[in-house]
Amino acid sequence: MTNVHDNILGLIGNTPMVRLNQVTKHIPAKVYAKLESSNPGHSTKDRIALHIIEAAEKRGLLTPGSTIIETTSGNTGFSIAMVSIIKGYKCILSVSDKTKPEKIAYLKALGAKVYICPASVPADDPRSYYEVAKRIAKETPNSIYINQYFNELNIDAHYQSTGPEIWEQTDGKITHIFGCTGTGGTLSGSAKFLKEKNPDIKVIGVDADGSILKTYHETGKVDESEIHSYQIEGLGKNLIPGALLFDKIDEFVRVNDEDSAYRTREIALREAIMGGYTTGAVVQALIQYAQNNTLTEKDIIVLIFPDHGSRYISKVYSDDWMAEQGFSKNGFSSYDAVLKTEMEK
């Protein structure tokens, strides 16, 4: 039988790429989106969940009835919960209070126990979702803590799968790759593989306004004055993740909540792709990059679209939520005049 699997985990990886035709029409390069929402858990995090858990099984760290614990903004939690169901493990997750109720409901529907923690506290605060997960792991017998932010297997999962897929799908002709950086594993692992194939490939990380990653990449220092709350989930950090290989990234582009939100909705309107908030962020980063760098028709650019927009219906796709944030569309350039008109209808 063709394309038939023993269980849902067989669907992880080998995600498609599609060319973007409208949102990047003023950019001369060919731009392709790597649709990680095509994974069965609807995000790129399926790859690391399966890779890390199977590595733990090989080391004898997991036995039937074990508990898997992790910190998540949503997507990793979905993936871990999904893998746990198939493999017979319990799942405990700590999330920040930025996480929307429908995401928490989704996690619980997959059998996970969820702890909600304040997002506004420092990473080393006992109330942070990082520290809560660590504490639960220490208190829970027969458990492992995934620790995606500092787990080298996060990088390795994408070195083994995402990077090779992108190389093959572009016939080795890729010139630029853009990816959002939260834990950093997706972009780091992909970049590590691609740079080995061709060191001239430009790797562009996307950071959030309110995060410290861009400045740290440029200066090697943490500027705590840059830290403030922001709305984009799964992008940027107030700590330096060990899974982010800064030496594999050529440049960071920083994007803000408002531009990324409207860009997310533009992608749905213009390309019929319902992507998550980071989908808009990575396209916005490309547009900002193109304003300051020369791109030609010979360039082949790959954007990693990390997840599916269904998880953001009450957030970025909600007119009420957009209004609550005070997003006005005033910051857009003339490039976006048509989009503004359509959004205002």
The two beta strands, 30-35 and 17-19, are antiparallel
Q: Is residue 188 within 8 Å of 245, Cβ to Cβ?
A: yes
Active-site position among 30, 34, 45, 214: 45
Residue type, 296: T
- Strand residues in the chain grouped as ranges (E): 17-19, 30-35, 67-71, 90-96, 113-117, 143-145, 176-180, 202-208, 251-255, 300-305
Would you call 279 helix, strand, or coil by DSSP?
Answer: helix
Helix %, strand %, coil % for the chain, to 5?
45, 15, 40
* Inter-axis angle of helices 257-271 and 277-292, nearest 10: 100
Q: Is residue 177 within 8 Å of 300, Cβ to Cβ?
A: no
- Phi-psi map region of 209: left, alpha, beta (phi>0 left; psi -120 to 50 alpha): beta
Would you call 11 helix, strand, or coil by DSSP?
Answer: helix
Q: What is the DSSP letter of 119?
A: S
**Catalytic site includes residue 45:** yes
Catalytic residue list? 45
